[in-house]
Amino acid sequence: MTQNPPAILPSRIAHAGLRQKIMSADAAAALIHHGDHVGMSGFTGAGYPKLVPQALARHIQQQHNAGHEFRIGLWTGASTAPELDGALAKVGGMDMRLPYQSDPTCRARINAGDMAYTDIHLSHVAQYVWFGFLGKLNVAVIEVAGILEDGRLIPATSVGNNKTWLDQADKVILEVNHGHPLALEGMHDIYYGTERPPHRKPIPMTDAGDRIGTPYLHCDPAKVIAVVETNLPDRDTRFAAPDEASRRIAGHLMDFFQNEVQQGRLPEDLLPLQSGVGNIANAVLESLNDGPFSGLQGYTEVLQDGMLALLKSGKMRMASSTAISLSAEVMKEFVENLDFYRERIVLRPQEISNHPEVIRRLGLIAMNGMIEADLYGNVNSTHVMGTRIMNGIGGSGDFARNAYLSIFMTPSTAKGGSISCIVPMVSHVDHTEHDVQIVVTEQGLADLRGLSPRQRSRLIIERCAHPDFRPALLDYVERSEANAKAGHAGMHTPHLLEEALSWHARYEQTGTMLPR
């Protein structure tokens, strides 16, 4: 993480007035004040500012050392990187963070009670700011690939909430990253047709590849208080080679898709795919690359290695996303073939990539990871043992609620088999029984569509639970039903209230959910 200013390439900053505002990251960071709400770019480790946040962290540390309070409220698109969330969390520089994070230092601070974290559906964030629900945005810090002569901005590898931050902030700091290929120009589609109610119009999109906006971000140059030059790569988002569990999950899904096509419930080219972050999602995309389906489309919030491979092979004809989050190796291939990918990728604001209206219209196949599911199909995506935040809900709610098919995936166990990811009752609910259609583990796939709670519980145990935990789950179900049959509870969703969360409590106490 060098602090050396890169060589100035005037073509990257073609606006004469903004060239006048070039300064060091430290000088720019000094323009941010204690108590400010700061909107930064960045979505799943792509397109986040690389130097100003670290300079701000140093500034904050100096202020703290001098006995001065200094904390900001930090809003982003989604997760960023150690240079942003990590640096600011390390110095205790945030009193509030939203809407999604995945940084270890930041997570530790939140779970220690040192900072507040507000976990929001990603499609809700921009409009909440427009509505005034989160207070005034003071400063925007946005990474871009370049600045045109007239001040329009070439976005970087993510769009996220940048449009909203640029529009809503009083002051703007731009980081121009010379490390991004200028050939990104034209890949983005920034839709400026959103309004506040009652002035909203239909979003004119009927295909994942539709372009409905402009390739550039608009920004009033008068609001720009600093331009900082950088030359640093995005986070290297590496994926593990698919393990046996991931391969089996992917295999169950391929079988399911083939059957759905045979039954006439899916077209032969499926429907646009949404794929969450992580290794399992990536493994599913790899399987699709080896599978029988072609003419695929992607409509997702983050485009990872697996989806780029589908585009490269020609299995996928078009992908829409708000961020490109690749391993360094695949990023190289992406940059070298940008002319190819620019025809096949559209990067949009996250209020569009995650918009319920568009998701429902296009009819997505939504595939997201989870921490645990319960007998009745409720899903916990965010909390370890009900109290510790892992990352956040991200876009999973936007997609699951509005998708054509809502799929949640996890290995059946975690921590070497000591945790069952199928539990009597989830310790936190992010997706209710009403939003979960398909649950998949390496053990199998449970198709919950149209089933009542008690029909679901037997199927989930039989298909998805690990054999080590099946007897205890069945025992819980049978005793819950007997208790209800005896008139002590209802048979609609039988539970033993005093025991429902006991598996989690046992894990906290003994290090395993397995009964002694």
Of residues 454-493, those binding its own copies (CB under 8 A): 454-455, 481, 484-485, 488-493
415 near its own copies (CB under 8 A): no
Q: How far is CA 316 from CA 210, 257, 267, 271, 297, in A?
A: 15, 16, 15, 11, 5
Q: Which segment (60-68, 222-230, 316-324, 444-452) binds its own copies by CB under 8 A?
A: 444-452
**Burial of 15 per CB tally in 10 Å (0-12, 13-18, 19+):** buried
Q: Which amino acid is at 390?
A: M
Residue 13: DSSP 8-state = B
State both tokens at 96. Answer: 């509030």
Distance, CA of 451 to CA of 449 (rounded, Å):
6
Of residues 78-117, those binding its own copies (CB under 8 A): 96, 98, 110-113, 116-117
62-67 long-range contacts (CB < 8 A, ≥24 apart) are: 63/34, 64/91, 64/92
- Cβ atoms within 10 Å of 399's Cβ, excluding its own: 30
Of residues 284-343, those binding its own copies (CB under 8 A): none
**Cβ nearer to its own copies, comparing 19 with 401:** 401
Minimum CB distance to its own copies, residue 71 (Å) = 14
Of residues 4-43, those binding its own copies (CB under 8 A): none
- Reduce the DSSP state of residue 16 to 3 states and report it: helix
**Cβ nearer to its own copies, comparing 133 with 340:** 133
Which H helix or E strand runs over 369?
Answer: strand 365-369
CA atoms within 13 A on the CB side of 125: 33
Q: Out of 167, 189, 430, 442, name the contact with its own copies by CB under 8 A.
A: 430
Of the residues 301, 351, 372, 433, only one is catalytic, namely 301
Helix (H), strand (E) counts: the chain: 18, 23
**Cβ neighbours of residue 244 closer than 8 Å, sequence gap 6 or more:** 442
Minimum CB distance to its own copies, residue 388 (Å) = 3
**Cβ nearer to its own copies, comparing 104 with 132:** 132
**Cβ nearer to its own copies, comparing 398 with 442:** 398
**Cβ nearer to its own copies, comparing 115 with 250:** 115
Q: Which of 253, 233, 179 is nearest to 437 (CA)?
A: 253
Q: Which residues are annotated as a binding site?
A: 371, 391, 395, 415
Strand 316-321 to strand 72-75: parallel, antiparallel, or no bridges (unpaired)?
A: unpaired
Q: Which residues are annotated as a binding site for CoA?
A: 371, 391, 395, 415
Active site residue 351: no
Of residues 129-168, those binding its own copies (CB under 8 A): 131-135
Q: Which amino acid is at 165?
A: W
Q: Which segment (59-67, 280-288, 358-366, 412-420) binds its own copies by CB under 8 A?
A: 358-366
Q: Tell me: cis bond preceding 198? Omega within 30 of 0 counts.
A: yes
**Cβ nearer to its own copies, comparing 201 with 516:** 201
Query: The tokens 């690389």 sit on which residue?
Result: 50
Of residues 194-213, those binding its own copies (CB under 8 A): 196-198, 200-204, 206-207
Minimum CB distance to its own copies, residue 123 (Å) = 9
Of residues 216-255, those binding its own copies (CB under 8 A): none
Q: Out of 64, 401, 458, 470, name the contact with its own copies by CB under 8 A.
A: 401
Q: Out of 10, 264, 416, 467, name the contact with its own copies by CB under 8 A.
A: 264
Q: How far is CA 89 from CA 116, 140, 158, 417, in A?
A: 12, 18, 22, 32
Minimum CB distance to its own copies, residue 393 (Å) = 6
Strand 94-98 to strand 273-275: parallel, antiparallel, or no bridges (unpaired)?
A: unpaired
Distance, CA of 318 to CA of 298 (rounded, Å):
6
67 near its own copies (CB under 8 A): no
Minimum CB distance to its own copies, residue 496 (Å) = 9
User: For its own copies, how many residues bind (rule: CB under 8 A)?
Assistant: 90
**Burial of 290 per CB tally in 10 Å (0-12, 13-18, 19+):** exposed
Q: Out of 57, 250, 309, 384, name the contact with its own copies by CB under 8 A.
A: 384
Q: Out of 12, 180, 248, 495, name the contact with its own copies by CB under 8 A.
A: 495
**Cβ nearer to its own copies, comparing 117 with 165:** 117
Minimum CB distance to its own copies, residue 451 (Å) = 7
Query: The tokens 């700091």 sit on which residue?
Result: 173
Active-site residues: which are they? 301
